[in-house]
């Protein structure tokens, strides 16, 4: 809702005219009209990087007031539909976008995979099952289940009083950040590190390395359930034990190693037994490989750009 989201298009167009690029990749819908105008003037190749299904997010994620959602969805539809004939290719961050947005032409699946470390580790169990450091990181929103995980952790901490929970990430909605601070203020074992702007990747990587268990408590909304969270790939790449919301798509991915197990963050009745099962698991009997590596995606991406330049 910030007015800068409108004004940034003018800044974007100014830089396009100043730099005179041969290729422009627009990474969000509001930049598309300026990118198309710049293409008309400079005749470059234009790619739309579809990082989100914005219309579906607006409809289901409840990040906007209910009365504004149909208007916002219509604005996104107009920006994406009216500019589509002028876009030379699309990058799809999720495989599900192929059937959610079948109208997108010349589309390459470019998933949010991870950079693998130089070495992998042998299979292991939790080193400190009674004093575990849990981590939630990335974008911190209601739809991503942050509050559900806090309440789940508080119940678990009755069994594990030495456990800690760190929540580190970009919280775009101020009122939601205020709710979280209010909810955890009497619980010193929960540490909030919320930012109104996206955090540097290095800071998130350090938090991942320091953690014992990564929580992915996403709510299974229609805008989320078919996608694969970036933090799932990143957690696997760093061989971190994961607790994820039950989802067959995600379970197939983590079971291959195994990287963790499913956890219903709304159900705490059998928490002692569930934690016993999790802490007894041997993680990463199979080390992660190229199936989650950005290197494989990069090769396809560079070939895609070459095909645009050659006109094939």
Digit-coded pLDDT (tens) for 8-22? 999 999 999 999 999
In a domain, 120, yes or no: no
Residues 94 and 228 reside in one and the same domain: no
Token duo for residue 32: 């598309």
Task: Report CA 233 to chain centroid distance, whole Å.
Answer: 10
**CB-based contacts of 154, cutoff 8 Å, min separation 6:** 187, 190
Q: What is the pTM assigned to this prediction?
A: 0.90
Residues 56 and 106 reside in one and the same domain: yes
Residues 145 and 176 reside in one and the same domain: yes
Token duo for residue 116: 């693998």
In a domain, 252, yes or no: yes
For residue 115, the surrounding DSSP H or E stretch is none
Residues 275 and 145 reside in one and the same domain: yes
> What backbone torsions phi and psi does residue 136 show, to the nearest 5 degrees?
-120, 125
In a domain, 128, yes or no: no
In a domain, 169, yes or no: yes
Per-residue model confidence (pLDDT) at position 4 = 76
Residues 210 and 260 reside in one and the same domain: yes
In a domain, 219, yes or no: yes
Residues 169 and 280 reside in one and the same domain: yes
Distance between CA atoms of 56 and 126, rounded to whole angstroms? 38
Per-residue model confidence (pLDDT) at position 78 = 92
Residues 278 and 306 reside in one and the same domain: no
- pLDDT tens figures, 126-150: 999 999 999 999 999 998 999 999 9
Per-residue model confidence (pLDDT) at position 103 = 85
Per-residue model confidence (pLDDT) at position 312 = 57
Residues 104 and 252 reside in one and the same domain: no
Range of the domain at 232: 133-292
In a domain, 259, yes or no: yes
Residues 109 and 190 reside in one and the same domain: no
Whole-number percent of the chain with pLDDT over 70: 99
What distances in angstroms separate CA 11 from CA 8, 111, 129, 312, one per listed residue? 5, 28, 51, 32
Residue 79 CB: number of other CB atoms within 10 A? 19
- Total structural domains within the chain: 2
Distance between CA atoms of 139 and 180, rounded to whole angstroms? 14
For residue 197, the surrounding DSSP H or E stretch is none
Residues 61 and 154 reside in one and the same domain: no
**CB-based contacts of 249, cutoff 8 Å, min separation 6:** 225, 226, 228
Residues 268 and 194 reside in one and the same domain: yes
Residues 243 and 144 reside in one and the same domain: yes
What distances in angstroms separate CA 244 from CA 50, 121, 228, 231, 253, one per listed residue? 25, 22, 11, 11, 11
Looking up residue 162, the CATH number of its domain turns out to be 3.40.50.2000
For residue 204, the surrounding DSSP H or E stretch is helix 201-210
Say if residue 34 is exposed, middle or buried (CB neighbours under 10 Å; 0-12, 13-18, 19+).
buried
In a domain, 9, yes or no: yes
In a domain, 158, yes or no: yes
């Amino acid at each position: 809702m910030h007015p800068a989201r409108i004004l940034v298009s003018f800044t974007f167009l100014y830089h396009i005219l100043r730099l005179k690029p041969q290729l422009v990749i627009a990474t969000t819908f509001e930049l598309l009209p300026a990118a198309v105008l710049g293409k008309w003037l400079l005749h470059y190749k234009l790619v739309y990087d579809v990082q989100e299904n914005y219309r579906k997010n607006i409809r289901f994620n409840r990040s906007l007031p209910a009365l504004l959602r149909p208007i916002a969805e219509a604005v996104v539809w107009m920006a994406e539909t009216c500019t589509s004939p002028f876009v030379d290719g699309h990058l799809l961050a999720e495989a599900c976008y192929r059937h959610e947005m079948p109208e997108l032409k010349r589309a390459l699946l470019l998933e949010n995979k991870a950079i693998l470390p130089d070495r992998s580790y042998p299979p292991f169990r939790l080193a400190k099952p009674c004093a575990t450091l849990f981590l939630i990181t990335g974008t911190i929103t209601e739809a991503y289940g942050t509050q559900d995980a806090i309440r789940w952790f508080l119940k678990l901490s009755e069994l594990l009083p030495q456990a800690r929970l760190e929540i580190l990430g970009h919280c775009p909605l101020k009122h939601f950040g205020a709710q979280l601070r209010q909810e955890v203020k009497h619980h010193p074992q929960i540490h909030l590190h919320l930012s109104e702007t996206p955090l540097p990747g290095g800071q998130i990587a350090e938090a991942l390395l320091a953690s014992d268990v990564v929580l992915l408590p996403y709510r299974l909304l229609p805008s989320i359930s078919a996608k694969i969270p970036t933090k799932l790939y990143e957690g696997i790449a760093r061989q971190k034990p994961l607790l994820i919301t039950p989802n067959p798509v995600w379970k197939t991915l983590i079971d291959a190693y195994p990287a963790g197990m499913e956890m219903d963050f709304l159900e705490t009745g059998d928490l002692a037994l569930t934690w016993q099962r999790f802490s007894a698991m041997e993680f990463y009997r199979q080390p992660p490989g190229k199936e989650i590596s950005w290197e494989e995606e990069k090769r396809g991406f560079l070939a895609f750009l070459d095909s645009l330049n050659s006109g094939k």
